[in-house]
Chains A and B, each alone.
Chain A
Amino acid sequence: MSRPLHNYIRTFRRRLNLTQRQLAWLVGSRSHTLISRLERGRQLPSLRVALSLEVVLGVSIRELYRGLALDMKRLVDVRLGRARRGGKGVAGKAA
């Protein structure tokens, strides 16, 4: 069983038959290198670009970044578990 890929921007871009240059223009970027970097996971999008990607590709950002979303969920679950057990962390300090 494999974990999801970091992101599926390339998959959904190709489904719409868009080039990197076209997608870059649609999300308001001057250069297609941004899309290349996003697809390769070398860079994370800004909130503006992320929301634009959601609109252009018609897929939620959570779906686009399934691998990353899963990693984040696991991390937060671990922290929540620690907080509930009363261990060190933000929750402990607040109390």
Chain B
Amino acid sequence: MTEVRVVGLDPTSRGWVFAVVETSIGLVDHGLLRVRSAEAWREHALAVVRRFDADALAIADPDRSRFRREALAVLRLVQDLHVTKEIPVVTVDVYAHRRRLKLPTKRHAAEHLVSKYPELAGRMPRQRKPWMSEDWSMNVFDALLVAEFALHELASTP
């Protein structure tokens, strides 16, 4: 069986949130990698890839997502890693993927992932009210969703 390991990244105001998935083990690790300077985003993304010796990096497609401007710039920076052939970067249309899985909201996607990986139950933020901003731990699920999609794509490619 082909082993594939993918790092999913999601940018937040604090830094990269990452989730690492592997074909045989499932969720290997997840966490937050603080990025303190604006120039270090690319290096930190590469550092996670090297740390986990990953086959590919997965991010949300910057052309099909509703990120703030700074986050979009960071995602495009990472997308360039694919162009420069440093690491294969898989961009995922998160909305289309969620639609395919019949998960209308981020909350539904998070619940779906918690049922698959119970160790993430502690990361599940409480139901958000309309006036509340999103909890950063929700980004773990975003990173995991893109990583899972990329893993499935790569593992099914002969």
Contact = CB atoms under 8 A, between A and B. Distances in A.
B29 A2 contact: no
Interface stretch (B50-58, B72-80, B127-135): B50-58
Contacts of B27: 11
Interface of A: 1-5, 8, 10-11, 14-17
Contact of B53 (A2, A11, A15, A17): A2
Interface residues of B, number: 15
12 contacts: A1-B3, A1-B4, A2-B3, A2-B53, A3-B3, A3-B53, A8-B25, A10-B29, A14-B29, A15-B118, A15-B119, A16-B119
Given A5-B28, A5-B52, 12 more contacts: A1-B2, A2-B3, A2-B54, A3-B3, A4-B3, A5-B5, A5-B53, A8-B25, A11-B27, A11-B29, A14-B29, A14-B119
Label chain A's interface by main secondary structure.
loop
A74 to B, nearest CB: 15
B21 to A, nearest CB: 11
Contacts of B118: 15
Contacts, number: 31
Interface in B72-117: none
Nearest to A12: B25
A10 B31 CA distance: 12
Contacts of B3: 1-4
Interface string B11-55: 000000000000001011100000000000000000000001111
Contact of B5 (A2, A14, A15, A16): A2
A17 B54 contact: no
Nearest to B28: A11
A14 B118 CA distance: 10
A5 B122 CA distance: 25
B25 A11 contact: yes
A17 B119 contact: yes
Of A1, A8, A10, most B-chain CB atoms within 10 Å:
A1
By Cβ-Cβ distance, the 4 closest A-B pairs, closest first, are A15-B119, A2-B5, A2-B55, A11-B28
